[in-house]
Amino acid sequence: MPLIEITPATHDVDIALAYATADNFTGAHVYREGARCFLHPAAEEKLRIATQLAAQLGLRFLIFDAFRPTEAQWKLWAHTPDPNFLADPAKGSPHSRGVAVDLTLLDASGAPLDMGTAFDEFTLRSHHGSLDISAAAQANRLLLMGIMTTAGFDFYRNEWWHYQLFNSRDYPLFSDAAAGTGMMDHA
C-alpha cells in the first residue's frame, strides 16, 4: 500500500522534519535535504481527525517526523542505541512502517506550546507524566495526548511527541526504495 504525502496544503499542518537537517540529536543529516513527509493511509486518516480536533481549539500541528525509512532507523540506532528512546531497527520501528508521527502543537500565532523539553530530548523529563516540568507544560502535553488519543492514536510513555497506531507491528516495514519516497541519499 503506498504511503500518503503529508503537506501543509493538504493537511493544514506545519512540517519541519528534524532528520532532514543537521539540527537533530545526531548533529548530521539523516534524510536527504528536502525530504518530504509521509504516512501510511491508516495513520494519515487519524492525523486528519486529530487536525480537525486541534483546529476547533485554534491549534495546529508541527510535525518533526513521520515515515522513517529502515535505512534511517539504522543510522539513528548506530548513533544512539538507546531502546528507551529508539526502536531497535532489528525489530523495526513504527516510524519505518509509516504508522508513527512525532509532533507538537502550535498556537494561533504559530508558536509552539511549551512541552517542558525539546523534541528528542532523551531524558526522564520527556516522559509523559514527568513531574519535573512546569504545570503549564504538563497541561500542554495532556492536551496533545487528549487530541491524539481521541483521534485514535496510541502514545509512547517515554516521549511526549510520539504517537503511533495501535498494533503498529501488524504493518510492514519499508525501506526508502520499497516506499518510493526518495528520502535517503543513495550512494
Tell me the domains of the chain and their CATH numbers: 4-179 (3.30.1380.10)
pLDDT of 104 higher than 90: yes
**Helix, strand, or coil (residue 134):** coil
Pairing type for strands 60-65 and 159-164 reads unpaired
pLDDT in tens, 77-102: 999 999 989 999 999 999 999 999 99
- Closest by CA to 182, choosing from 33, 66, 75, is 33
pLDDT of 1 higher than 70: no
DSSP string covering 39-69, please?
E-HHHHHHHHHHHHHHHHTT-EEEEEE----
Averaged over 102-106, what is the pLDDT?
98
CB count within 10 Å of CB 110 equals: 9
Averaged over 61-89, what is the pLDDT?
94
CA distance linking residue 172 with residue 19, whole number of Å? 22
pLDDT at residue 185, rounded to an integer: 86
Residue 49 binned pLDDT confidence (cut-offs 50, 70, 90): very high
Q: How far is CA 20 from CA 24, 35, 40, 66, 135, in A?
A: 9, 6, 19, 12, 32
CA distance linking residue 181 with residue 177, whole number of Å? 7
pLDDT at residue 33, rounded to an integer: 86
The DSSP element (H or E) to which 162 belongs, if any, is: strand 159-164
> Is residue 33 among the annotated active site residues?
no
Averaged over 122-132, what is the pLDDT?
95
Helices marked H in the chain: 8-11, 41-56, 70-79, 135-150, 176-179
pLDDT at residue 24, rounded to an integer: 94
Annotated catalytic residue, options 5, 33, 71, 159 = 159
